[in-house]
Structure 1
Amino acid sequence: MRVVPLIVLSLVVAATPAIAAERTGYSQIAAGNMGAAERSIVAERRIFPDRPELMLNLAAVYRNTGRAAEAKALYAAVLDKPAVALDMPSGAVVSSHDLAQRGLARFAPQMATR
């Protein structure tokens, strides 16, 4: 009878990254569905308003939908909180502060030199 709980546990563990990708809006952002991503993230932020991965992903949605001021505000809010190590889809672990700084850098004016 121990086989069944182990099988169930392994299925739950295997499904956890997929569920997390849905709750953080990652899957929708990757698919280019910014509206669905925003709805998912906003719903999660009602429960977890200070989770940096939600703030960063919502900032990405705002950036990709032309809402620069809102995106910048979320990136700044992440920087106002303690840094958190975040797992990336690539398997890398990155600081929430590094991601927020990279997001803000996308808004910096680009200067050309010749």
Structure 2
Amino acid sequence: MIKHLVSAAVALLPVALSAPIHAKDRTGYRAIATGDFARAERTLVAERRIFPNRPELMINLAAVYLRTGRAAEANALYSKVLTQPATLMELPSGRAVTSHQVASTALASIGSTVAVASR
């Protein structure tokens, strides 16, 4: 299985890192970490045109959507991660988690902060 580093450094929501630090930031991780959400979104949207089902791209784009006030779009991407095969990811602490665990945790977080109105 492909291993990816996952960090919760920005706003305590998971962001995946799969490229070496010296490589081009194809996962948007560095842009997200520095708060450049517009650049991260451009990178992630372009990469998803090539690799539409890579969970680290969906997870990071969902994180950008959350940080820019688009919870519904984030929810849709995290939900899509759950429809794909689980990918093993490694936390900076060395703990291994799956893309499904990351997406489920994020969805639970969204659910606890998004108000649903009904009449």
TM-score by length of 2: 0.72
Is 1:57 paired with 2:50? no
Partner of 1:34: 37
Q: Return the letter of the residue paired with 1:70.
A: E
Higher relative contact order (CA 8 A, sep 6+): 2
Of Structure 1 and Structure 2, the greater helix share is in 1
Q: RMSD between aligned alpha carbons? A: 1.6
Deviation at 1:67, TM superposition (A): 0.4
Higher alpha-carbon Rg: 1
CA distance in 1, matches of 2:93, 2:43: 22
1:100 equivalenced with 2:110 (yes/no): no
Whole-Å Cα distance in 1 between the matches of residues 107 and 35 of structure 2? 21
TM-score w.r.t. the length of structure 1 is 0.75
Give aligned pairs, total.
94
Distance 2:91 2:51 in 1: 19
SS in 2 for 1:79: helix
Gaps of 5+ in 2: 1-18, 114-119
Displacement, 1:93?
2.8
CA distance in 2, matches of 1:67, 1:40: 18
